[in-house]
């Protein structure tokens, strides 16, 4: 079995502290689409979607960037 990434949980903790600038910076260097989708799900579960529009926009933009095959980041 593959090891579960705790990146989304860590990011949720950073977001809950209110340090949105740091969260946006980390989202820009997100490991993969999987982790970003996990973060989106965690934000929805915590009912934080829409609270910070620029954060939601950063997640959407980086999902699109990581989904593009030419911009794939190697592990």
The residues spanned by each domain of the chain are 7-71
First CA to last CA across the chain, in angstroms? 18
Six-digit token string for 9: 């949980």
Ordered per-residue pLDDT tens for the chain, 75 residues: 556 679 999 999 999 999 999 999 999 998 888 999 999 999 999 999 999 999 999 999 999 888 776 655 666
Residue 65 CA to residue 13 CA, distance in Å, equals 24
Residue 27 CA to residue 32 CA, distance in Å, equals 10
pTM > 0.95: no
């Amino acid at each position: 079995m593959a090891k579960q990434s705790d990146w989304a949980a860590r990011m949720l903790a950073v977001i809950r502290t209110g340090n949105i600038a740091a969260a946006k910076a980390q989202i820009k260097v997100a490991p993969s689409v999987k982790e970003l989708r996990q973060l989106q799900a965690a934000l929805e579960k915590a009912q934080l979607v829409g609270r910070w529009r620029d954060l939601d926009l950063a997640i959407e933009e980086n999902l699109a960037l990581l989904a593009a095959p030419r911009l794939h980041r190697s592990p």
